[in-house]
Structures are given as structure tokens and as C-alpha cells.
Amino acid sequence: MGQIRCHPPVKLIVGIITAVPDLLSVIHQRLSEQFGRTDFASDLLPFDYTNYYEAEMGKDLKRQFVSFESLIPAEELASAKCFSNAVECEFAKGDTAPRPVNLDPGYISAAKLVLASTKDHAHRIYLQDGIYAEITLKFYRKTFQPWEWTYPDYRTSTYIDIFNHIRHIYMEQLKGIGLSPHPF
């Protein structure tokens, strides 16, 4: 019989997509009110891997990833997604674009990067409140690796370098509080 153990806390991340970079400081503030101080923000990256969001968000989209200093229980991912959806709605009110911002929360653990979604699929697991979880990347051979279903942008070396960096911050945090990740 396997031994039941508590999962170590995880590192919350949020991917932000917008055509209005001037909104980023307000978005960061709004996210920090809920999740605490950020400890990493990537450069603004072009988001040109798909035109899926153009009708709602416009062209010349940019993406930025942020991570938060406070670690969270993995089971809080669904509530983080519900909150991010509410924030998206706040920004959509009264704006000329139907959706000026897209927020994609997820988490990094020692073994993987998990994203939250409102859409079901064969490779996603239902969490609660209409939210699903997808293991988007696995950590294998000292770096994150994609799965067959991993989004094209998450497969790029630029994104993987960002996630490896955030994972390094996370692993140092675990050491600092005397926790080690479960072996995998």
C-alpha cells in the first residue's frame, strides 16, 4: 500500500495576454491584491502563435508571465482560475475591445507545469467549479519538456527558459522552508 503524503505547496504563475501593454501595471496590482507580491515578471513577448484571440482582443498581442512569492496549495488552482476570469470581466467592462486581457493561471511544481482551463478535453482532469487542470509540461532531464497536446508557444525555448527560471526560484523557496519535493 502506498503511503499517503501531503503535496508540497506549488508556485502560482499567471500568463497575461493583452494588446494594451499599458494595462499591465493595473493587472499586476489586481493580481497582487489576491495572490501577494510577484517575484518574477518576464519581458513582454510577442504572442503570434495563433490568431484565436484576435476577434476578441485585437492584433499585436503581447504575453507576459508572472510568478508569485507566496506558495499555494495545489488544490487552490481552481479558485485562482475563477478569480482570473472575474478580473478579465472587470477589465472588459466599458472597453472598446470585448476582451482587453486574457489571464491564464497555472502552477509550477518540481515535476510539472499545470494550467487551469474552463474547457474539458481528454487530457484534462476536472477540479471543481467548472475548472479543469492540464499538465502542460513535464520536468525531465533537467528541463521542462512538452507533451503531444502542449500549446505551440509553451514548446518554445523562450517559454521553457522562463519556466525553468521560475522552477529554480521555487526549488530555492522549498529549500528555504525546509521542504523537499517528492521524488518523481
The predicted structure's pLDDT at residue 78: 98
- 161 by DSSP, 3-state: which? helix
Distance (Å, rounded) from C-alpha 93 to C-alpha 42? 27
E strand or H helix at 164:
helix 157-176
Q: Which residues pair with 41 in a beta bridge?
A: 66
Contacts 24+ apart (CB under 8 A), 113-118: 113/13, 113/137, 113/139, 113/144, 113/154, 113/163, 114/10, 114/74, 114/77, 116/77, 116/78, 116/80, 116/81, 116/84, 117/81, 118/81, 118/85
pTM, full prediction: 0.94
The mean predicted confidence, pLDDT, of the chain is 94
Share of the chain above pLDDT 90, in %: 83
Q: What is the mean pLDDT of residues 38-54?
A: 94
- Domains in the chain: how many in total? 1
- Whether residue 180 is contained in a domain is answered as no
Residue 15 lies in a domain: yes
| pLDDT computed for residue 45 by the predictor | 98
Domain assignment of residue 111, yes or no: yes
Residue 183 belongs to some domain of the structure: no
What confidence score (pLDDT) does residue 5 get? 84
Pick the more confident residue, 1 or 120.
120
What b/e sequence results for 44-59 when a residue is b if at least 16 CB atoms lie within 10 Å of its CB, and e otherwise?
ebebeeeeebeeebbe
Decide if 33 is inside a domain. yes
Q: What is the pLDDT of residues 145-183, one digit of tens each?
A: 999 999 999 999 999 999 999 999 999 999 999 988 765
Looking at the DSSP bridge assignments, the partners of residue 33 are none
129 belongs to a structural domain = yes
Per-residue pLDDT tens over the stretch 97-138:
788 999 999 999 999 999 999 999 999 999 999 999 999 999
Residue 1 falls within a domain, yes or no? no
According to DSSP H, which parts of 47-123 are helical? Answer: 54-57, 77-92
Q: How far is CA 98 from the centre of its chain?
A: 22
Residue 5 lies in a domain: no
Structural domain span for residue 66: 11-175
Degrees, nearest 5: CA angle 20-113-135: 105
SS3 category, 11: strand
- Give dist(CA 34, CA 145) in Å, integer: 30
